[in-house]
Amino acid sequence: MAYITDENGNYKRTVRCGHCYDKGHNKSACPKRKQDLKENIERYTQELAENKFAQDYQRSNTERYLRHSKDQLHKMETRGQNRKCGFCSEPGHTRRTCPDRKAKTKKATND
């Protein structure tokens, strides 16, 4: 847990990134990690194109690292796009902001 101070000098809790160790965001939203993944993809693609591997395991490791970097970048870029409500199963909102759930709970508490 990290702490920051607000404009009044009070301490507030925040998150710390596991990649760059800055405060205010976590690893899944880190802009430096996203840039690093893009650079890794370019580097691994270039290494595979040059094909200057002394051993077969070096090539397979590079292919595995490239696949992992692409998967992680895709995961970062498509985060939250396939969410759907857990209450009404409609896309576009979550259970917390579901208008159907809010209407039903309001009706149930008013009766």
* Structure confidence by residue, pLDDT tens digits, 92-107: 888 999 999 999 999 9
pTM: predicted TM-score of the whole model, two decimal places:
0.71
Q: Are residues 1 and 13 in contact, defined by beta-carbon separation less than 8 angstroms?
A: yes
pLDDT of 72 > 70? The answer is yes
Give, to the nearest 10 degrees, the angle between helix 56-77 and helix 31-50.
150
d(CA 63, CA 107): 57
Q: Whose CA is closest to 83, among 95, 99, 71? A: 95
Phi-psi domain of 78 (left: phi exceeds 0; alpha: psi -120 through 50; beta: other):
alpha
Distance of CA 111 to the CA centre of its chain: 42
